[in-house]
Amino acid sequence: MKECRQEDCGGKVVAHGYCNKHYLRIKKYGSPDGGLRSHATLEQRFWRMVEKAEGCWLWAGGKRPNGYGQISEGGKGSRSLSAHRLSYELHHGPIPPGLVVMHSCDNPSCVNPDHLSVGTYKENTQDMIAKGRKRTVAPLGAENGKSILSVADVVYIRANGHKSHAQLGREIGVSPNCVRGVRTGRTWSHVK
């Protein structure tokens, strides 16, 4: 039996001195080694997607809807990693359990290790509030600009439990659903 002329194969020759596997690769790719990819390491793939600038190093790869970069851990079905967390780990070591990686530059796609630090969830939230990036809760009741009821209307709705939602809505000039929200506590729950 003739053996495949590909080094370290030992397969049975089918055509032109090659086994079936290597012969098909020659037909498809032009080389018995064709189609085989040497996969780069996670770190090598990370650096391919980093655009270094003077301040922020921007992530040029895939991003989540919130703007944070992501990269596959590697391999079929592997999980996605956050690019800024990976950058922190490559430059500073493992992230301690229970901590998050925070950006001093407030740029979610930045992976510059000088702009990254670790902190607790509470510290991250306090940082967001201090920098004006966290949306505040809308004012309650009549203080909310979209409010169509007053505190007196809410008290009246709750005092007249024998009337229907529709009847009270017509009296006050609001929809029955608005009345229902007050009665169920979905709205105006802060008024007793």
By 3-state DSSP, what share of the chain in percent is helix, strand and coil, each rounded to 5? 35, 15, 50
49 and 117 belong to one structural domain: yes
Q: Does 111 fall in a domain?
A: yes
Beta bridge partners of 71: 81
Q: Does 189 fall in a domain?
A: no
pLDDT range class, residue 36, cuts 50, 70, 90 = low
pLDDT per position as a tens digit, 122-161: 999 898 888 877 766 778 888 888 889 999 999 999 999 9
Q: Does 148 fall in a domain?
A: yes
49 and 123 belong to one structural domain: yes
pTM of the model: 0.55
Host domain of residue 159: 141-184
